[in-house]
Structure 1
């Protein structure tokens, strides 16, 4: 009997170890702190764990695995399995999706931002470019149109942007440059210090980032209706890690993306509803630029930057016109569907 029990116990232990060995654990590299911008990743991890009964889990790190600007490099060498990054951090590595950062695309809602982002992510040129980094696009991190906070007297006329030092990346930075501003691409984590020390006069962010990175605490004013564009920040996975998943694990991951995005949109919507209260609480003046000023900004920035971007992409063998047309067609289809 003793021998029998010992054998049974040994068998049980072997099964337990085998089961433990089959569990899948991914490391996920984010930055900053948990905020509206990362809620879809948090929800994704929760859903995947639920759907696999805890056999597929994700360890989410906020800066402990890599700098935000190095996340794509980390994915490429398999330092972690999933990461978030923003296109403006290294536009030379993700040229295709910079179409989504062109100024004044006319995107009005987060739903529209999701639609155009995922359409571009699925384009063969985008898929092939990410494959060079052993990465696969999983989902976007949709953000509303950027607006700027600033110190001192409000800048509510386009002429007042001349010489303005603004933290802005990608197409937004180029747009400000066309009206005489001086963009700098310090990372989001460095924006507060740059503003506090006077390195920049203004910072362009979506609302959640002004809160999360503290720039709203330094601000005297905020532009409510400038809306020059936004940045695109995808979540990607390491291709080898993705392909090594079991069919059940891959299904749990893929099927959780729409649910995670829906959760993100609901959560971000609540933040936007409270934004005016935040401004009042912190004594930040809401600045409304005139329709004339915005139209002038758009005409100065949008067409020249778009045409230059298309020409630059085509010269590199990337279908710039096709990608821009895809964005416009997807926007039209999204609105027709609504």
Structure 2
């Protein structure tokens, strides 16, 4: 069988067997594993090495009718809730609006993953991708503003605020390497633990898994002992007692099963929002016809950012309903005086971030202005 037929055969097999192979989807929920679909994995490696024209991988019944096919590296398994509730609806909206001019097709891992998504899109392997700002490899000075603690928890407001900052030229210059289609803000990080935490003094010496430097600094100021552990090792570290607690959100609690080892949440403190980008290869965008760009541009910018951010807000509510109704989570609200102590203790994190770069104060002021504007209905 030649490479063309092997590829189409492998893709057809995978699509036909998706519903039968949910147990083979990786625990991280990031997509098909090479062990689940070895033939497709090897063929995709051949494609990304230049041995196979990538256009062959976008074969679908609709592709023959559309003028332009676009490969969307989602970084998500087809069955993932992020694909179903956020990326899929956006993709389908564009396809429907184009009336056959465009056909965007979702390509799950191993086509591209979170760690190489930026490179896959900028190199043209993928036309469109969904990537977290920390995984772009860019200087994260300005875009890390939303990762600061206590700034808010509304992901729609955060996503739109980021788009408006981008339009004002306040974010990283490196973003010009791609066509930015929109932003998203992931459900804010909160503190989860096996037993209740209601007072600041309980954090003294507590080993807390943390994802980045900003949250580590915040936890240190609160008296905890932050521990950096890769996400794919966090569940095991919690179950074995290597760490006592973890920062997380609804995604980690439900999708990644942290609910099995963490049953209490401090609800009133947000430890920051991670910004995500929906991006497109610059050349792929420029090569669209005027008519195709007109269609796509209607789904670029604030509209898409609102769509993604609002869906994230809805997911947060749904996750908490599930966790609380099942008895897997108890939510604790800090008394006003206690909340004030936590917020005051973390103030130096924001002060240090402002001092870290000359333009950071301007970025922070603009972010808060736009965030409040969106949150108030504008």
Which category describes the TM-score, using the shorter chain as reference length? Answer: 0.7 to 0.9
Q: Write 1 or 2 for the structure with the bigger share of helix.
A: 1
Kept after mapping to 2: 8 A contact 1:176/1:183:
yes
TM-score by length of 1: 0.79
Could you say which residue in structure 2 is the equivalent of 1:81? Answer: 127
For residues 371 and 72 of structure 2, the distance between their equivalents in structure 1, rounded to whole angstroms, comes to 34
Structure 2 unaligned regions, length at least 5 = 1-62
1:108 Cα deviation after fit: 4.8
1:218 to 236, 261, 269: 261
Kept after mapping to 2: 8 A contact 1:165/1:199:
no
1:159 to 177, 201, 209: 201
Could you say which residue in structure 1 is the equivalent of 2:293? Answer: 250
Q: State the secondary structure of the residue aligned to 1:227.
A: coil
Cα RMSD (Å)? 3.1
Kindly indicate whether residue 156 of structure 2 is the aligned counterpart of residue 111 of structure 1.
yes
Could you say which residue in structure 2 is the equivalent of 1:99? Answer: 145
Could you say which residue in structure 1 is the equivalent of 2:274? Answer: 231
Structure 1 unaligned regions, length at least 5 = 1-17
**Rg larger for:** 1
Kept after mapping to 2: 8 A contact 1:310/1:320:
yes
1:272 Cα deviation after fit: 0.5
- Per-residue displacement from partner, 1:173-216 (whole Å, max 9, x unpaired)? 33223223343455545443343343433232232332111112
1:58 to 99, 104, 110: 104
Could you say which residue in structure 1 is the equivalent of 2:215? Answer: 172
Kept after mapping to 2: 8 A contact 1:35/1:208:
no
Kept after mapping to 1: 8 A contact 2:73/2:128:
yes
1:320 to 343, 360, 368: 360
Q: How many residues align?
A: 312
4+ residue runs of structure 1 moved beyond 4 angstroms?
A: 18-21, 89-92, 184-190, 335-338
For residues 278 and 156 of structure 1, the distance between their equivalents in structure 2, rounded to whole angstroms, comes to 19
For residues 91 and 102 of structure 1, the distance between their equivalents in structure 2, rounded to whole angstroms, comes to 19
- Per-residue displacement from partner, 1:69-93 (whole Å, max 9, x unpaired)? 3322333322322222223446753
1:143 Cα deviation after fit: 3.4
Kindly indicate whether residue 300 of structure 2 is the aligned counterpart of residue 300 of structure 1.
no
Q: State the secondary structure of the residue aligned to 2:74.
A: strand
TM-score by length of 2: 0.71
1:97 Cα deviation after fit: 0.9
Kept after mapping to 2: 8 A contact 1:166/1:203:
yes
